[in-house]
Each structure stands twice: as C-alpha cells, then as structure tokens.
Amino acid sequence: MGMEPDYSFESAAQLRGYTRIAGVDEVGRGPLAGPVTAAAVVLDPKRIPDGLNDSKKLSKKKREALYEQIMEVADVSIAHATVEEIEEHNILRASHIAMVRAVEGLKTAPDYCLIDGNMVPRGLTLPSETIIKGDARSVSISAASIMAKICRDYVMLSLAQQHPGYGWETNMGYGSKRHISALRELGVTPHHRRLFKPVHNILWQE
C-alpha cells in the first residue's frame, strides 16, 4: 500500500523547539461554484485519532467518524474565501486567504505551521514549512484536509437546497456533466465562479 501519514514532520519541528504545530490544508480549488475552504488543526500528540489520511482516500463514513474524533481532541479552525474573493484575486490567492484565516481562528495561536502544497500563503507570518502532498504525509495536514472537506461539503449541501438542479449535493460544485448541463439550462447562480472557464463560456453564450 501507499504511505500512511505520520507525525514525523511534527516531531522534527518539536525537536527545533516548537510546541503548537498546526496542519493547514484547503479544499475546493477546482469547483465551478461555492467557496474555497481551509482548515487549521493542532493535534494533541497523545490523542491522535487512528486512520487519519488524505480526505480523498477515505470513505464518506470514515471521514465523518474522524471529523467527530478530531473535533473532540484537537484545536480546529475552519475558514472560507468567498466566490467574490476568488474573482477579485484568483483561486490560488483566495485559497491562501482562507488558510491564513483558518490559522488566525485557532483558539491558541500555533508557533509553527505545516502547509499542504509548495507555497506559504502571503500574510502568514508564523514559521512555516510546505509539504507537497502533505495530506498523505503529515497527520496534522490529513486532519485539516478532513475538516475542510466535510465543512465545505456541508456548505454545498445547504447551497444545493437553495439552488436545486445543479447536483451540488453530489458533485459539490465540481464540473460534472449534470452540473454543466444545468448551467446551460438554468443559468448561472450568485455562487458560481464566473471567471472559471465553463461558467465564463456559458455567460458569453448568453
């Protein structure tokens, strides 16, 4: 099997004297609709839930069970960047804005951040380290990926009730066939990212 995430990045930071290490990840860069959502999680090394992994590798049921466990044992903060912010900046910048907000929302400020990806968000002033595919390598980032995914899914479920027909309750705003055909038939909602190509093209056809 592939690698399982572990606590080695966190341990290495602790050896350098850091004590509150936050894993930070975001979800929702690719969809055509909805916010981009980030989470920051500080795990208690003595109470790390079993089975943490990249949220994409876990079943919905497993993610939801882990969500409950992480909420009980960790300091968790979730934040979003809106569709307006995605359009004002760009998706990468908006996802970084959400990450910074998530870190700032933790009950106790961390002194070190492990960031999924290869860029430290601008505006994050804490000592930080980027980890490519971090959600599959660091348990703190795995935990953040699970929290961000579940929270964003809840947002999309509630938007799906307000805007039926696009299939957001199953595609979570990604450009599935059903979503694209609904865009053509029903048009664009205020929650669509108008600068994303499929949405942009449909607006231009109108």
For residues 3 and 136, the answer to whether their CB atoms sit within 8 Å is yes
Task: State both tokens at 183.
Answer: 């865009």
Residue 176 lies in a domain: no
Q: Do 23 and 143 form a contact (C-beta atoms < 8 A)? A: yes
**Separation between Cα atoms, residue 172 and residue 156, nearest integer Å:** 6
pLDDT at 2: 60
**Model-level pTM greater than 0.85?**
yes
Whether residue 102 contacts residue 116, with contact meaning beta carbons closer than 8 Å, is answered with: no
Query: Quick one: what percent of the chain has pLDDT higher than 70?
Result: 99
- Does the pLDDT at position 136 exceed 60? yes
Measured in residues, the chain has a length of 206
CA triple 202-205-206, angle to 5 deg: 95
Give pLDDT tens digits for 97-107.
999 999 999 99
Show the tokens assigned to 67.
């969500």
pLDDT band at 1 (very low <50, low <70, confident <90, very high): very low
Please tell me the total count of domains within the chain.
Answer: 1
- Is residue 40 situated within a structural domain? yes
Q: Residue 57: inside a domain, yes or no? A: yes
Query: Is 196 a member of any domain?
Result: no
> Does residue 185 sit within a domain?
no
CATH number for the domain harbouring residue 139 = 3.30.420.10
- Structural domain range at position 74: 8-150
Q: Is the pLDDT of residue 53 over 90?
A: yes
Residue 48 in domain:
yes
**Residue 114 covered by a domain:** yes
